[in-house]
A and B are shown apart, each in its own frame.
Chain A
Amino acid sequence: KAGVTQTPRYLIKTRGQQVTLSCSPISGHRSVSWYQQTPGQGLQFLFEYFSETQRNKGNFPGRFSGRQFSNSRSEMNVSTLELGDSALYLCASSLGQAISGNTIYFGEGSWLTVV
Chain B
Amino acid sequence: QQQVKQSPQSLIVQKGGISIINCAYENTAFDYFPWYQQFPGKGPALLIAIRPDVSEKKEGRFTISFNKSAKQFSLHIMDSQPGDSATYFCAASGYTGNQFYFGTGTSLTVIP
Contact = CB atoms under 8 A, between A and B. Distances in A.
Interface of A: 4, 31, 33, 35, 41-45, 48, 50, 55-56, 58, 90, 92, 94, 97-99, 103-109
B97 A56 contact: yes
Contacts of B31: 99
B42 A56 contact: no
Contacts of A41: 104
Contact of B104 (A42, A45, A90, A98): A42
B41 interface: yes
Interface in B50-101: 51, 89, 91, 93, 95-101
Contacts of B98: 31, 33, 48, 55-56, 92, 94, 97-98, 104
Given A42-B105, A98-B49, A99-B31, A109 B99 contact: no
Given A55-B96, A98-B98, A104-B34, 7 more contacts: A33-B100, A45-B100, A48-B97, A97-B96, A98-B49, A98-B100, A106-B45
Nearest to A108: B43
A103 B59 CA distance: 15
A90 B44 contact: yes
Contacts of A90: 43-44
Contacts of B32: 98-99
Contacts of A97: 96-98
B102 A92 contact: no
Instruction: Name the residue in B43, B95, B96, B98 with the highest tally of chain A Cβ atoms < 10 Å from its Cβ.
Output: B98
B46 A103 contact: yes
B101 to A, nearest CB: 7
A56 B105 contact: no
A33 B102 contact: no
A98 to B, nearest CB: 5
Nearest to B94: A99
Contacts of A109: 43
Interface string B21-35: 000000000011010
